Structure 1
Amino acid sequence: MQIKKQLSLFDLSMIVVSLVIGMGIFKTPVSVAAKAQIPELFFLAWIIGGIIAVCGALTYAEIGSRYPVTGGYYKIFSVCYHPSIAFAINCIIVVSNAASVAGIALIGAEYLSKIILDPQMQTGEYRILIATISIIIFYAINLLGLKASSKTQNVLTVIKIVMVLTLICAVFFGEQTTSITPIFKSVTGSSPVWSDYGKALGLCLIAVSFSFGGYQQTINFGGEVKEAKKIVPRSIIIGLAIIITLYMAINYAYVKVIGFEQLKTAESIAAILAGKIFGPIGFSLLSVLIYLSVLGYVNVNLLSNPRAMYAMGEEKALPKIFTKTTKKHGVMIVSLTVFTIISIFTLFYAQTFDKILNYSIFLDCIGFATSAAAIFILRKKTAHLAKKDIYTVPLGPILPLLFIAAYLFVAFSIYSDDPNAALNGLYIFIGFIVIYFIIRYFNNKKESSQV
C-alpha cells in the first residue's frame, strides 16, 4: 500500500520536540550536578550536549534529505552497512523504547494517582492499571491514522512546552536559594588535574546525552512528509533549537531556585519549581501537566517505533505481516499492535531511568556513531542528486566527525564507569545479529521449499 504524505513542517517539528523532551529533563539534572560537582562544569556539560545535538541534527537532516523513506532509521543501516546490523540496532532500540514507554507511563501514573486516588489506593497495582489504560488510549488514537495521532501530538507537545516555560518562571518568584561555594574534588582526594575534569565531563554527558536523544528517529517519517527534502532538515533544526533553549533556561532555573549543592541530591525538582510559583497547589497542577507530558512521550513512540518495524518487515528481517496496513487509514496495524503489547508487557518489569541509563545510552552510542557515519556512504550513493534538491551539512565532514567522536567519548566514559553495562550492551547487540541470520536461514529455507 502506498504511504500517504501527510506531515507538515509544524507536525514534524513537534514530533522532534516530543521525541527528545520526555521525563529526562525533570530527572537528569540531579545526576549531572552530582557528577559535575561545580556549576561551571554542570552548565558546560549542557552546552556541549547542545552543540553535539546540533551537529547530530544537521547530520541526520542531510541523511533524511538524501534518503527520505518510511522507517529510515532502519533502512540507512541496511543500505549502508548490512541488514544484520540494521536488524540488531533497531531491535535493541525498539525493545529499549518499549521499556522506556512503560517506565515513563508508570512515572506519569504515579503523579496522577496522587491526584485522583485515595492514599490507600496509591499502590503499584493501581499505577500499573493507570499506565496500561494510558497506553491503550493512545494505541486507539493511533488506529485512527497518522493525521489524528500527529494532531494529538501537536497539542500534547504544546502543553509540554508551556509546562517547561512555566517552570522556568520560578526564577521570578520568591527568594532564590543560596548555598556554599561548591569545590571540585578528585577521586584520590588530591588537587584535581585536567584528566579529572575530563572524566567528570564524560560522566555528565551520559545523562545529558539521554536528555538530548531521540531526534534521530525523525527520519523514520521521511516517506510520509510533504516535500521531505526541505521539511525533514528544517523540522529537525527548528525542533532542536526549541529544545536547547528550553533546556538551558530550565537548568538555570534549577540552579537559581534550588541551589547547586541542594540540586545534587534533590527529588521532584520540577515540583519544587512549581511550588515556588503556585504554592501548595503547585504540586497538583504540575502532576497533571507531567502526566500530559508523559502521554506525549507515549504517543510519539507509538508513532515512531512501528515505522522501524514496518521497514524491517519490508526487507524480510521480520515476517512480512509487519508490513500490513489498514485500508481506511493506512495504519501499520501489526507493527503498532506488537509494539504496544511489548510496552504493556514490560510495565510489570520496567526499571527506573537510573538503572537503565548506562545500558540504553551505551547502545545509543553504537547506533548514533554508526548511523551518523552512514552519511559518508550516502553521499557517494546519492552523488547524482542535484544540490538544490537536498540539504548538505555545512563545513564538510567536520560536524559529522565531531558528532561521532563525541559519542565514542561517551561510550568510553560509560565503559570506564560501568564496564558490565557496556559489555552487556555489546553481547545484546551480537545476540541480535545472530538472531537475524537464524531468521534469514529459515526464511530462505521456506522460500526454497515453495519453489
Structure 2
Amino acid sequence: MSIKPLLSRFDITMIVISLIIGTGIFKTPGEVALRTGTPELFFAAWIVGGIVTLCGALTFAEIGARYPTTGGFYKLFSYCYHPAFAFMINWVAIIATTASVAAVALIGAEYLNPLLLPQALQNATGTKITTTIMVLVVYFINLLGIKTSARTQNLLTIFKVGMIILLCMAIFMSDGKANITTVALPQGNAIASFGLALVAVFFTYTGYQQTINFGGDVVDAKSNMPKGIFIGIAVVIAVYMAVNFAYYSVLGMGGLQQNTGLAAKMASVVFGDVGSKVTSVLMFVSVLAYVNVNIMSVPRMYYAMAEDGILPAVFKNVNQRTQTQVFGMSFFVATVLGILLLVSSFGEVLNYAIFFECIGLSTAAIAIFILRKRTRELDGTGIYTIKWYPLVPIVFIVVYWFVIISIFMANPKAIMVCLAAFIAGLIIYYIVKPKQANATLSSH
C-alpha cells in the first residue's frame, strides 16, 4: 500500500501557494497595524516577514531535494535527530496545523454567514455550522482521489489569487473617503511590539514547510520540489505586499486598526454595493482551498509516523486507485471539527499556533546542517543547494527564535500550555513505542 508519484511541478507550486494563503491575509494586517502603530513599522514587519520566509523556503527547498519522502516533515526529524524528538515535534505541528485550519475556517465563516444564514443564526452557533459544512464538503472532495484534490486545488488557487489581485485594483478606484486617519499607537517597548507584529505576519506566511510531506507524491521530486517551493513563495510575497499596500492606500492605518471586514471594505471600493457578496465568494474559495490542501498534507504525516510504528498501521492504509488515506483524512477532519467546538475566535488560536510553528520550523531548518553532512554524495549531482549557505538558514532560525521569545514575554501562560503539549507528545511516544515493538516481535 505504497504512495506513487502523481503530482507535477505545477501541482506542487499551487500547493505551496495554498498552504500559505488562507484567509489570514484578510485578518492579520489589522493585527499587525494594531501591534506596530506606524506605516513604517507596519510595512517593515511585512518586508522582514517576506525576506525571512524566503530564507525559510530556500532552506526547505534544499531539504526537500536532499530528502524527498512521503511525510517528509516527520521523517526529517527522525533521520536528523531522534524518532522521539520527531514524534514530539510533529505531535505539536499537527496540533498547530489543525488549529490553523480551524482558525481560517472561523475567519471565512465571519464573511459567509451574512450571505448564507438567516439573521437569527449569525452568531457563534451559526459560525460553527458554516465551518463544519465547509470542512465536510472538502473532505468528500478529497475522498475522490489525490489527482482530483490537486485539480480542485489548482482551480481554487488560481481563482483566489486572481480575486486578491482584483481587490488590489481598489488603489486606482478609491476616492480617499475610506481612509481613516485616527491611529492607536501600541503601548510599551517598540522592539517587543515589532516582535508581536511578526507573530501575526508569520502566521500569515507559514505553511509552506508542509510541502515536503509530498516528497513521495511528486514526479522527479529532487528537481520539481525546490522549483515549486521557490516559485510558490515568490508569488505569495508579491501578492501579500500588493494587498497590504492596497489596504494602506485605501483605508489608512486607522482603517486597518479597526480590523473588521478589511476585504469587504476593499471590495466595496471596486464593486460597489455588491462588494460584500464578492468578498463572501472570495472567502468561500479561500477557505475551501486552505482546508483542502491541509486535508491532503497532514495525513501524509500520519503515514510517515505509522511507517515508524508510532501510530497504528491503519494510518498508512492507502487506497491504491485514488492514492487517498481514508482513515487518516477522516481522523484529521474529526480533529478539526473537535477544535471548532472548543474555540470561538481567531485571537484565541493565533499565539498558540504560531508558537508551535516557530519551534517546528526553526528546528527543521537546523536539520539542513545535519543533512549536508549525511548526504555529501548528492553534492554536484545537480540538486538544488542554497546559494548563500549558511547565512540564509541562520537568518531564518534567528528571527524565528526572536518571535518565540516575543511570545514568551507577552504571554508566559500560553508558553506553559505549549510546553506541556510537547512533553505530552514525548510521554505518548515512550508509551506507544514499546507496545509497537512488542507487536512487531510477536508477529514474527
TM-score, structure 1 length as denominator? 0.94
Per-residue Cα deviation, 1:307-327 (whole angstroms, up to 9, x for no partner):
001110011111111111113
The within-5 A match list for 1:41-440 is 41-176=41-176, 177-178=178-179, 180=181, 187=188, 196-440=189-433
8 A contact 1:84–1:437 mirrored in 2: yes
What's the Cα RMSD here?
Answer: 1.8
Structure 2 match to 1:30: 30
Per-residue Cα deviation, 1:86-125 (whole angstroms, up to 9, x for no partner):
1112121222322332333343334333213322343444
| Aligned-pair CA distance for 1:146 | 0.8
1:417–1:275 distance in 2 versus 1, CA, 3 Å: same
Per-residue Cα deviation, 1:312-368 (whole angstroms, up to 9, x for no partner):
001111111111111321211221111111122222113422112111111111101
Per-residue Cα deviation, 1:134-174 (whole angstroms, up to 9, x for no partner):
22222121112111000000011111101211111111113
Are 1:16 and 2:8 matched, yes or no?
no
| Aligned-pair CA distance for 1:126 | 4.2
Q: Which amino acid is 1:91 matched to?
A: W
Q: Which amino acid is 1:25 matched to?
A: I
8 A contact 1:85–1:433 mirrored in 2: yes
C-alpha distance in 2 between matches for 1:354 and 1:123: 17
Q: Secondary structure at the match of 1:223?
A: coil
8 A contact 2:69–2:216 mirrored in 1: yes
Between 340-349 and 294-303, the greater mean CA deviation after superposition: 340-349
C-alpha distance in 2 between matches for 1:282 and 1:300: 27
Q: Which amino acid is 1:332 matched to?
A: Q
| Aligned-pair CA distance for 1:198 | 2.3
Per-residue Cα deviation, 1:260-304 (whole angstroms, up to 9, x for no partner):
123222311111101111112100111122111111011011001
| Aligned-pair CA distance for 1:127 | 3.8
Q: Which amino acid is 1:305 matched to?
A: V
Q: Secondary structure at the match of 2:324?
A: coil
Q: Secondary structure at the match of 1:345?
A: helix
C-alpha distance in 1 between matches for 2:406 and 2:28: 17
1:415–1:126 distance in 2 versus 1, CA, 3 Å: closer
C-alpha distance in 2 between matches for 1:374 and 1:288: 41
C-alpha distance in 1 between matches for 2:10 and 2:440: 44
Q: Which runs of 5+ in 2 are unaligned?
A: none
Q: Secondary structure at the match of 1:392?
A: coil
C-alpha distance in 1 between matches for 2:186 and 2:128: 42
Q: Secondary structure at the match of 2:168?
A: helix
8 A contact 1:229–1:389 mirrored in 2: no
8 A contact 1:88–1:430 mirrored in 2: yes
Query: What is the count of residue pairs matched by the alignment?
Result: 443
C-alpha distance in 1 between matches for 2:309 and 2:252: 54
C-alpha distance in 2 between matches for 1:110 and 1:204: 23
C-alpha distance in 2 between matches for 1:386 and 1:55: 20
| Aligned-pair CA distance for 1:448 | 4.7
Q: Which runs of 5+ in 1 are unaligned?
A: 188-195
Q: Which amino acid is 1:15 matched to?
A: I
C-alpha distance in 2 between matches for 1:319 and 1:140: 23
Q: Which runs of 4+ in 1 moved over 3 A?
A: 121-127, 177-186, 445-451
| Aligned-pair CA distance for 1:199 | 2.2
C-alpha distance in 2 between matches for 1:270 and 1:53: 24
8 A contact 1:73–1:219 mirrored in 2: yes
Structure 2 match to 1:192: none
C-alpha distance in 1 between matches for 2:17 and 2:314: 31
Per-residue Cα deviation, 1:215-260 (whole angstroms, up to 9, x for no partner):
0100000111111111111111101111111111111111111111
Q: Secondary structure at the match of 1:279?
A: helix
1:178–1:447 distance in 2 versus 1, CA, 3 Å: closer
C-alpha distance in 1 between matches for 2:321 and 2:245: 48
C-alpha distance in 2 between matches for 1:237 and 1:327: 31
C-alpha distance in 2 between matches for 1:374 and 1:367: 11
Identity of aligned residues (%): 45
Between 242-251 and 263-272, the greater mean CA deviation after superposition: 263-272
| Aligned-pair CA distance for 1:206 | 0.8
Q: Secondary structure at the match of 2:320?
A: coil
| Aligned-pair CA distance for 1:450 | 5.1
| Aligned-pair CA distance for 1:180 | 4.8
TM-score, structure 2 length as denominator? 0.95
Q: Which amino acid is 1:142 matched to?
A: N
C-alpha distance in 2 between matches for 1:180 and 1:130: 35
